Amino acid sequence: MIKGNLLVGQSGGPTAVINATLAGIISFAQKKLDGKIYGMRGGLEGLLSRTDFIELSNLNEGQLERLKQTSGGALGSGRIKPGQEDLERALSYLKQHDIRYFIFIGGNGSMQTPLELERLAQKQGYELYCIGAPKTVDNDLYGTDHAPGYGSAARWLAQHTLDSGLDLYTMRGFDHFKVVEAMGRHAGWLAAASVLARFRPTDPPHLILLPEIVFDETAFLSKVESIFKREGCVLVVASEGVRDKQGKFLAELNAALNLDPVGKPMLSLGEGISGYLCQLVKEKLGLKARYDKPGTLQRGAACVSPIDREEAFKLGEAAAQYALEGQSGLMPGLLRMSNAPYRCKIVPTKLNQVVGRERIIPPEFLTSDGLNEAAFHEYALPLIGPALAEPMRLRSGE
Amino acid sequence: MIKGNLLVGQSGGPTAVINATLAGIISFAQKKLDGKIYGMRGGLEGLLSRTDFIELSNLNEGQLERLKQTSGGALGSGRIKPGQEDLERALSYLKQHDIRYFIFIGGNGSMQTPLELERLAQKQGYELYCIGAPKTVDNDLYGTDHAPGYGSAARWLAQHTLDSGLDLYTMRGFDHFKVVEAMGRHAGWLAAASVLARFRPTDPPHLILLPEIVFDETAFLSKVESIFKREGCVLVVASEGVRDKQGKFLAELNAALNLDPVGKPMLSLGEGISGYLCQLVKEKLGLKARYDKPGTLQRGAACVSPIDREEAFKLGEAAAQYALEGQSGLMPGLLRMSNAPYRCKIVPTKLNQVVGRERIIPPEFLTSDGLNEAAFHEYALPLIGPALAEPMRLRSGE
């Protein structure tokens, strides 16, 4: 058995399977560690404001299984970018509790914490093994084929796009234009997943707007008009972070923006891009327009992708394994081996390859003005679990 | 076998199980009717603008089963209030096609059509049996314990309130106040269902705002403040149709309202009550506020309540049975026999008891300033299918 205590924290926005990763870490450490397993309350902010940990060493199998099934971050989360002082204080608490293994579950912003804690510990000659475990519904992490949380959010968005499309076709003549707004500030992975709702070329989503593609108002309106002529209704899935030629968020053009604590515009607050597009289409084309803005519902919905949950758990186990083996500055990621049958293996990536970098949708999944749908379909389909059920249609061409 | 043709239509906003009712009607009529089964395209508007029907007589068992599983209205829907001329034209089409059985699946507004068609046919001495089949996520129909579509939407809203609450607790300190906006103009049944997400008294939803209870700003702010002090965050589920003392929709106070074709304000468009409450709480209490506005997603989500789908199918069968037995001016409804074990039986109601009347939440489910949660829980719990899974919590008191 390995000596020392382990501390695990959750960071950034939650997902439906971030607790599965936590369960994987606990489960692995329970078997190999001769020491305490602690949980950090409320992310790094929590660590800096109070030093009491949650002891996780004695969770039994049933509790771990329930944790694996529970959406949201059971430890609580935080969002600060730690400064030098924060890091020093954090490290002193870790020393106080003889923490030798530190695992932080988070996205590209959060990975800064394990990376910098490791550097500081090394400088101070304190033996500390720091590992990041990936999570984000945005799927914008380097070093992994996809991030845990993405598959479930993608499944949710695809299913709801399918349902929302059936709703819209039912009400054709009454509702004309609908936006389903997806999370995604710089990367359109989540909006792109809505393509999995399409069984026939004319099915919704009729248009997918990605942050990777500059918004062209004229082209957009002309596409909307011609789809409306053909279908009698238009369903658009839009990433919250789509920008115009000037680099302005469409969400900004609509209303005053809220800023988050680190000064980034909060695109998801207010009417955002949904309100902007509805207004545009109403004014320019005279169409009745509405939007669905599921907000945080899309990232934590209990209808998860089973494969996503399993991968999240296994990446947790791998993170704990790396740490307990005395590795540091790493994040376990997924490497795609094949699409059919779908197979990924877990491989380590250096944290400094991940920190602060956003992996937007790469060129092979894009065309000059949108998504390369066939290529993306192949990538995303295995991630959402069982394929969606094709609806029964009674009206031809619908 | 019974002679004559049957025409079935769908009307009003779709639900996740309105096609199950359609499948029940077709399934019953296939066995008993020696004539054609036709579907009306696009509701009454469709009937008035083109006379081609969709023939449903030959759907096989597999197709009916798929139809039963398909969200949205597969025939298309409409919303007009028929005038005298519309009714006369509709009846002349029915005569042209020798339609003797007319079934209209819809809510309280839609029931006007079968009721008035029956009267007109009688006046003209044309033998026509008209039956309404209930559906609405709003659950505001008289003559039935609950309306098909409600259980599924209620399940969706409860599950998402649970998930959204876990998300909010994860981000405490970052997000303070969140509104989940539910459909419901005059009746708060759907918002009320969010109470099924609560396992402990302090769990979200912390507040439920219903159209049945006048909004009291001072009381609301003081409740929000004290919940925030205790919990560090506040989750409110709000019906879109909540009003102030002057009888104004809070949604109206926020922004210019859109009107629908019959001149009713479209509460679900724009920021509505969500935007209003967020602004209020930001200004008066200085809390960070956001909202989730699932819009049409909540009424058509494929994660249905299995019991809701079964009841929808059986009510379809009953509607067809009434018609083919030569009954008219009726709607099959559900009568609750017991809560535990849950049991309802199907009983007929006169359509004139249903048309144009909105069944708001009755006094036994209300208190002076909100929902009688225990009583409502007992009513709503059996309708959503399997109970929600209780989350695993690691932090005490959370």
pTM confidence score: 0.91
Query: Among the options A52, A138, A140, A216, which is catalytic?
Result: A138
Taking the CA of residue A368 and the nearest CA in chain B, the distance in Å comes to: 31
Q: Which residues of A touch B21 (CB under 8 A)?
A: none
Residue B172 is classified by DSSP as B
d(CA A66, CA A55): 17
Place of tokens 């990367």: A187
Q: Which residue has the higher pLDDT, B279 or B263?
A: B279
3-class DSSP state for residue B266? Answer: strand
Q: Which residue has the higher pLDDT, A174 or A246?
A: A246
Note whether A170 contacts B72, CB cutoff 8 Å: yes
Taking the CA of residue A300 and the nearest CA in chain B, the distance in Å comes to: 6
- Cis upstream peptide for B362 (omega within 30°): no
- Mutate which: B296, B305, B396, vs A, most A CBs within 10 A: B296
Reported as a single tens digit per residue, the pLDDT across B83-113 is 999 999 999 999 999 999 999 999 999 999 9
Q: Which residues of B touch A290 (CB under 8 A)?
A: 266, 268-269, 295-296
Position B51 scores a pLDDT of: 65
Token pair belonging to A371: 């998504």
d(CA A365, CA B79): 41
Taking the CA of residue B20 and the nearest CA in chain A, the distance in Å comes to: 11
d(CA B178, CA B170): 13
pLDDT (mean) for A31-55: 90
Q: Which residues of B touch A302 (CB under 8 A)?
A: 159, 162-163, 388-389
d(CA B297, CA B40): 25
Nearest residue on chain B to A67, judged by CA atoms?
A: B392
d(CA B315, CA B335): 12
Note whether A70 contacts B170, CB cutoff 8 Å: no
C-alpha separations of A130 from A31, A39, A133, A383, B78 in Å: 19, 15, 10, 28, 60
d(CA A316, CA B296): 36
Residues in chain B: 398
Nearest residue on chain B to A391, judged by CA atoms?
A: B70
Of B78, B301, B391, the CB nearest to A163: B301
Would you call A138 a catalytic residue per the annotation?
Answer: yes
Reported as a single tens digit per residue, the pLDDT across B131-158 is 999 999 999 999 999 999 999 999 999 9
Residue B387 is classified by DSSP as P
Chain A to chain B Cβ contacts (< 8 Å):
214
Note whether B74 contacts A171, CB cutoff 8 Å: no
Instruction: State the DSSP string of B347-370.
Output: EEEEGGGTTT---PPPGGGB-SSS
Instruction: Kindly tell me the burial class for residue B51, based on how many C-beta atoms sit within 10 Å of its own C-beta (0-12, 13-18, 19 or more).
Output: middle
Note whether B271 contacts A275, CB cutoff 8 Å: yes
What is the edge-to-edge ordering of all strands in the sheet holding B207-209? B207-209, B234-239, B177-182, B289-292
Position B265 scores a pLDDT of: 62
Q: Which residues of A touch B60 (CB under 8 A)?
A: none
Return phi, psi of residue B166, to 5°.
-65, -40
- Centroid of chain to Cα A380: 14
User: Which are the contacts of B288, defined by CB distance < 8 A and separation ≥ 6?
Assistant: B174, B175, B176, B177, B282
Note whether A296 contacts B169, CB cutoff 8 Å: no
pLDDT (mean) for B276-301: 92
Q: Which residues of B11-35 are buried (b: 16+ CB within 10 A; e: fewer)?
A: bbbbbbbbbbbbbbbbbbbbeebeb
Return phi, psi of residue A61, to 5°.
-60, -40
Q: Which residues of A touch B73 (CB under 8 A)?
A: 170
Reported as a single tens digit per residue, the pLDDT across B48-77 is 887 679 999 999 999 999 999 999 999 999
Q: Which residues of B touch A262 (CB under 8 A)?
A: none
Measure CA of the first residue to CA of the last residue in chain A; give whole Å: 62
- Mutate which: A394, A395, A396, A398, vs B, most B CBs within 10 A: A394
Position A397 scores a pLDDT of: 47
Note whether B293 contacts A290, CB cutoff 8 Å: no
